[in-house]
Structure 1
Amino acid sequence: MDAIEGVDLTGKTSVVTGGNSGIGVETVRALASAGSRVILTSRSVEAGEKVAQQLKADGVKGDIIVKQLDLADLQSIRRFSKAFKAEERGPDLLILNAGVMACPLSHTKDGFEMQIGTNHFGHFALTRDLLPSMKALKTPARVVAVSSRAHEMGSISLEDLHYRNRAYSAWGSYGQSKLANILVAKELAKRTEGSNVKVYTLHPGVINTPLGRHVYGESYLGSAVKLAVGILAWPWFKSPAQGAATSITAAVSPDLEAHSGVYLHDSQIKEPSKSAQDMEMAAELWAETEKQLAEAEKKLNL
């Protein structure tokens, strides 16, 4: 992968959420190949271990440690964060890669709508928990959030983030969660201005990975339509390695050091939608997220 060529991450620690599938696997591969100690998080430790073993069999040199993390469960997030801070340093790189896309209406263990709960609330809680340790490094650290161009069709409903009082839209919910990723990243960049922590978001491209199982699965499309959609979309699909390239660029490119808060597409800085540049909404979403997390965590005595 060109994005990692010549980069030495020896002595660095990286956390990759959802590192057991899709572009997460290729992100882990690239970072570990450059010498980083990589914490691969997965809801299933077994699935994560299979990936780690295969990468090691492929000759990847960096340490790959698999840890259980379910972003749809605040207790799981807290357990992971607590253990990480007790055992590790940093991380130097926090890659918020895991996600769900266009799934039927469902809810996290804590009652959040699944897409905003996983893609936004889960990653927000994880970043909040690890940020003090990242700042304590005193050396450059980065948070990289995988968003999507689907943010362009999203809007934030602060009064009803979880579709309790409005009709559920699988794509509308996904767009809302991906818009939330960019807004929170911009607010985080603002809050960490002048520190060692830089923040980036990105659109990885249209990639043929298990993330699209709800879109192309039988629950949404018949087999004939599914095949036709796949054939028509094929010219626009990237491989997982190609999709991961933008994540790696955001994680390691020295050219981005002075541009915390930017959004990338095809490894280049791009302007996200107008809604994704609304800093007033970013601040309001941050406050609402903190409020809802505090309420949920109080119930759990976290």
Structure 2
Amino acid sequence: MEKVVIITGANSGIGRALCERLLAEDVRLRLCLACRNAQRAEAARSALLTSHPEARVDLLQLDVGSVRSVLAAARELKARYKSIDFLYLNAGIMPNPHVDVKAFFKGLFSRKAVNMFATAEGLLTQKDRPNSDGLQEVFATNLFGHFVLVRELEPLLCQAGRTSRVVWTSSSNARRAAFSIEDIQHRNGTEPYSSSKYASDMLSVALNRRKNGQGLFSSVVCPGLVMTNLTYGILPSFFWTFIMPIMWLIRIFTNTFTLTPHNGAESLHWLFLQTPESLDPRAKYHSLTSGLGANYTEPRPMDIDDKMCEVFYEKLLQLEKDVRRNLPDLNQHQRNDLCS
């Protein structure tokens, strides 16, 4: 039976690299690129079919920052497929990043340079804003839209006698200090990206506690420091011209600078080859690259509190109910027999 693999944010960066690596591994799988930009998705599909002409590559219009789009996409997926084997939750945004230039140059020539580049701790902030659903944009795109998507697709993910996998693209910037259980959307903070990624770590742990018995297994990955459109947007182009040679040099002494999307997709590809029962539900699987360019995956424990994970999951369920009440025209068509 063919494997069905859904990847959000698949038209560029790590998502696109993952598509290439999965098709190189198994061209028989059914790959679905779930993307916001239809034109870019079609271009990505054409490129994949050029290198793998026998592949089956589907497209799906999906903006995970819009609950309406998520519900419509889930409805389409349930019409197309009978089951889903892998759901890679890779789409994400970091709008209006602001770098503390003074802290940057101070850290650049200190012993904390590697950690600064790898985590952006004390360096990077963003300005968030509400979206059309009244949710904070970063929270909605990086976390809540994916949460609703998983909930809607549970009939395809939770099936007797089968196992399915959900894989979250997290970050080394996912820090507990940036998250507040009293402000899960990070309305009052300046690090919404870090908060949303830490939230995805917690959600993965909560999903495993609730859904492993029904065949659904969740994992979290960190792609390392990868140069993508999102990363390049953090600093002006002339900064990267200056910094890149230094970063390649630093990679000789550390393994966290994966730099290319192909390298960053290492852990996502590695998880595709593993049996879910062998994985640690409380570990984050890091893509790492040696100074000589060898790629490998390493699990590292996450700074997670089980009780807070459960409280957070319950808050997401309540928020989902509240959001659905504001979408009455969709509610009548979207009530499913979710495996709870």
Deviations 1:193-220 (A, max 9, x none): 333221110101110111224312x4xx
Compared with structure 1, are the counterparts of its residues 227 and 137 closer, same or farther at alpha carbon in structure 2 (3 Å cutoff)? farther
Of 172, 185, 194, the residue aligned with 1:175 is: 194
Report if aligned partners of 1:14, 1:36 keep a CA contact under 8 Å in 2: yes
* Structure 1 residue ranges, 4+ long, deviating more than 6 angstroms after superposition: none
> Which residue of the partner structure matches residue 199 of structure 1?
218
Report if aligned partners of 2:92, 2:142 keep a CA contact under 8 Å in 1: yes
> Which residue of the partner structure matches residue 4 of structure 1?
none
SS in structure 1 at match of 2:168? strand
Q: Does 1:111 align with 2:142?
A: no
Report if aligned partners of 1:108, 1:118 keep a CA contact under 8 Å in 2: no
Of 232, 242, 261, the residue aligned with 2:246 is: 232
Rounded to whole Å, the distance in 2 between the matches of 1:158 and 1:75 is 26
Compared with structure 1, are the counterparts of its residues 253 and 215 closer, same or farther at alpha carbon in structure 2 (3 Å cutoff)? same
SS in structure 2 at match of 1:194? helix
> Which residue of the partner structure matches residue 7 of structure 1?
none
Of 290, 298, 301, the residue aligned with 1:271 is: 301
> Which residue of the partner structure matches residue 71 of structure 1?
64
Compared with structure 1, are the counterparts of its residues 106 and 94 closer, same or farther at alpha carbon in structure 2 (3 Å cutoff)? same
Letter in 2 for 1:23: I
Rounded to whole Å, the distance in 1 between the matches of 2:90 and 2:51 is 22
Of 77, 81, 90, the residue aligned with 1:88 is: 81
Letter in 1 for 2:241: L
1:153 offset after TM fit, Å? 5.8
Rounded to whole Å, the distance in 2 between the matches of 1:131 and 1:243 is 28
1:116 offset after TM fit, Å? 1.3
So what's the TM-score if we normalise by structure 2? 0.77
Report if aligned partners of 2:170, 2:197 keep a CA contact under 8 Å in 1: yes
1:52 offset after TM fit, Å? 0.5
1:107 offset after TM fit, Å? 2.9
Letter in 2 for 1:264: Y
SS in structure 2 at match of 1:151? coil
Q: Does 1:130 align with 2:153?
A: yes
Rounded to whole Å, the distance in 2 between the matches of 1:193 and 1:139 is 11
1:95 offset after TM fit, Å? 0.5
Letter in 1 for 2:202: L
Q: Does 1:258 align with 2:278?
A: yes
1:154 offset after TM fit, Å? 4.4
1:60 offset after TM fit, Å? 5.3
Of 45, 48, 60, the residue aligned with 2:41 is: 48
Rounded to whole Å, the distance in 1 between the matches of 2:4 and 2:212 is 22
- 111-120 or 17-26, which deviates more: 111-120
Alignment length, in residue pairs? 280
Of 250, 262, 268, the residue aligned with 1:247 is: 268
1:290 offset after TM fit, Å? 1.4
SS in structure 2 at match of 1:85? helix
Of 143, 147, 155, the residue aligned with 2:178 is: 155
Letter in 1 for 2:13: G
Rounded to whole Å, the distance in 1 between the matches of 2:317 and 2:222 is 25
Report if aligned partners of 2:23, 2:52 keep a CA contact under 8 Å in 1: no
- 95-104 or 285-294, which deviates more: 95-104
Q: Which has the higher contact order (CA 8 A, sep 6+)?
A: 1
Letter in 2 for 1:13: V
Compared with structure 1, are the counterparts of its residues 66 and 90 closer, same or farther at alpha carbon in structure 2 (3 Å cutoff)? same
Rounded to whole Å, the distance in 1 between the matches of 2:277 and 2:55 is 24
Report if aligned partners of 2:138, 2:196 keep a CA contact under 8 Å in 1: yes
> Which residue of the partner structure matches residue 189 of structure 1?
208
SS in structure 2 at match of 1:16? strand
* Larger Rg computed on CA atoms: 2
Structure 1 gaps of 5+ residues are: 1-9
Compared with structure 1, are the counterparts of its residues 111 and 50 closer, same or farther at alpha carbon in structure 2 (3 Å cutoff)? same
Give RMSD over aligned pairs. 1.9
